[in-house]
Amino acid sequence: MNIVHVVASLKVGGLERFVSDLAAEQAGRGHGVAVLELFAAEGDRIAVMPPAAAVPAGLRAGASRPAGILRLRRLLRAAHPDIVHAHNTFALGWCALPCRLLGLPVVMTKHGMGTEGRRGLLYRFPRRIVCVSEPMRTRLAARYPGVAGRAAVIANGVPFADHGPGARAAMRARLDIDGQDTAVVWVGRVAPEKALDGLLAAWREAAGCGGGGAGAGRAKLALIGDGPLRTGLEDRAAEMGLSGSVRFLGHRGDARELLPAFDLFVLPSREEGMPIALLEAQAAGLPALVTRVGAMPRIVEEGATGWIVEPGDAAGLTVALRSALAADRAELRRMGEDARRRAKAEFSIGICAARYDEVYAAVAGGG
């Protein structure tokens, strides 16, 4: 089967990482796979690994939309796809008409929980709409009743590599993490919905930087990622006296490989769909502290593989973080091993690709 994924761009992000992983897995299963990038990403970007191919559409902001639609029609006709798979409504908005003109079946994945406004009208076009969690499907069907019969749920997936016995020590050495430190990591885009301001405040209290927490002097927090709030948060961390325990590492192309260096993953977001960063952390064998948003309560089991707090609950986040830092290293490892085992059984990229194969087959067969 020939599959064309359509994305807004290949800028660094969870959606883009997922599409790259899915394309690689599908190519390994014998499909012909291309990733059509509508607008060229500026700065750091996600690579699409051969034999899957990245195809730049060459669209430019402010350019004529009719000309862009015609260009996409030419590119799609040349690709001869059996399925066009759009990721989020922005990509769907560009490829819906060319696909209609060419008679190509469209599958669309909704990755985030945000509302669509007028873009919601686009949901009439795909033959299947895939949501990454059941709460997302329920919310979508309530807002757009006409999609209920075409909406399915397929959880995101990530690759599960086997980390050798020396991986942890090697990665800690790469990051200059002391062997006695409890190392905590956050990965994502430094943006308002990630609630990093609240994380810094909780860290100051829980890690003993401003209130004698249990982890005083031995806990370190690494923030991996970039975004519009990074400079302001770095300044804020310095003002709070956190420079000795909080490091802003910026974008790291090797973030996935670095995860085994850490003892705990934290993601206190105000809004999420099904975050790839959390799945990658579990694949690396880390317990997680997360908020009760999106699919995260399905991924993390309270007390067994991590901690869950309500979004915006500053006191609750501080208490949970203090509890996590007070746990001994063996307990954190046990929780992380459980997290990896459970995630591998449900959230591997192979399982995800197999479920998409079923959807594609039904759609290509006229279902």
Question: In the chain, where are the structural domains located?
Answer: 2-157+348-364, 167-346
- Residue 42's pLDDT band, with cuts at 50, 70 and 90, is confident
Question: Quick one: which of 127, 59, 130 has its CA closest to 96?
Answer: 127
- SS3 state at 172: helix
pLDDT tens digits, one per residue of 168-181: 889 999 999 988 89
d(CA 147, CA 129): 8
Give CA torsion, residues 205, 209, 213, 218, to 10 deg.
130
Mean pLDDT, residues 216-233 taken together? 89
Cis amide bond preceding 51, omega within 30 = yes
Summarize pLDDT for 95-132 with one digit per residue, the tens.
999 999 999 999 999 998 765 667 778 999 999 999 99
Q: What angle do CA 318, 323, 324 make, to 5 degrees?
A: 100
- pLDDT mean across residues, the chain: 92
Q: How many Å from the N-terminal Cα to the C-terminal Cα in the chain? A: 16
Say what the pLDDT of residue 214 is. Answer: 40
Contact present, 268 and 319 (Cβ < 8 Å)? no
User: What does the pLDDT read at residue 280?
Assistant: 97
Give the tens place of pLDDT for each residue, 276-332.
999 999 999 999 999 999 899 999 999 999 999 999 999 999 999 999 999 998 999
pTM beyond 0.75, yes or no:
yes
- Are 177 and 183 contacting, i.e. CB atoms less than 8 angstroms apart? yes
Question: What pLDDT score was predicted for residue 101?
Answer: 96
Q: Which CATH class is domain 2-157+348-364?
A: alpha beta
> For the chain, how big is the Rg over CA atoms in Å?
21
pLDDT in tens, 183-211: 999 999 999 999 999 999 999 999 876 44
The reported pLDDT for the residue numbered 304 is 97
- Please answer whether residues 313 and 290 qualify as being in contact, where contact means their C-beta atoms are separated by less than 8 angstroms: no
Tell me, what's the pLDDT at 210? 45
Within this chain, domains 2-157+348-364 and 167-346 share the same CATH topology: yes
Q: Which CATH number fits domain 167-346: 3.40.50.2000, 1.10.1370.30, 3.30.230.10, 3.40.50.300?
A: 3.40.50.2000
